[in-house]
Structure 1
Amino acid sequence: MNAPNRFELYVLDDGEKPVEVSEDTKIPNAATFKIVKQDHTLANMLRAQVLSMPQVLFAGYKVPHPLHPYFVLKIQTDGSMTPQAVLEQACTKLIATLSTLEAKFKREFSFKDAEGAVPEDPYGGTGQAWGTGKDYLDF
């Protein structure tokens, strides 16, 4: 039908830039970033990370159409940092956060493998009552 091939949603074409930046002429210290071959998953994480920074006055994104694989992110700062620098710093922090999450996830599964004495439950439980035993947040 109208939907593009699946690989066209995430593979960059030759010479295609992953990020396009355009300065906003009507709003001071603002820029619009078009990030191609990405969707709501990355957009929402970036927006949340950018908004957690004290230099940011506004951050928001939109996906203009579901059949077009890109989103538009707008950032306005207080002038102490450029929107480009804020986005770079937010990406660095987000990568660090995801790396930490991955390490904790792998660590938890290594604990599960080490315990080994608990019989495997096909429904993912441990055979214990609710509220007892280790949770994935208990480190």
Structure 2
Amino acid sequence: MNLPSGLRSLAVAAIATAGIGFASAAHADSGTIRFSVYKAAFFVGGSGGEGTFTFRGKTYPISIGGVSGGLAFGVSKTYYRGTVRHIRNVRDVTGVYGAAGGGGALGKGAQVIVMTNDRGAQLELTGKQVGLQVNADLSGMAISLR
């Protein structure tokens, strides 16, 4: 069966585009992240901390900073660990991540967060929180390499 040359060109272009999409997804990698964050809030809150990011066998020190706004009050410290997915190099983990959520801790509590930055890195975290913290807010977190 002979296809007209225009249709054949379109089919080849579509297959090539799909192949490039699959190849770039296949080259995306992941790393592990651990950090602790102190948070204090009375409607408007701030947070800061530090930790490590491990990528391709090498560990990098990171700094965390953030703000939140909404219904939030209290003081807490949260220990996070998790995975950063869809990255190609160590710099992809840096940037601003945003989330909307709620939770609380009186003494001890747990958190689960999934956030994405502007580079497409997806941060999947679990955390153990200590302190008195109640929140239903919008928050942002910035990760930078030290």
TM range (shorter): under 0.3
* Structure 1 or 2: more strand by fraction: 2
Q: TM-score, normalised by structure 1?
A: 0.23
* Structure 1 or 2: more helix by fraction: 1
Q: Which of 1 and 2 has higher RCO (CA within 8 Å, sep 6+)? A: 2
Q: TM-score, normalised by structure 2?
A: 0.22
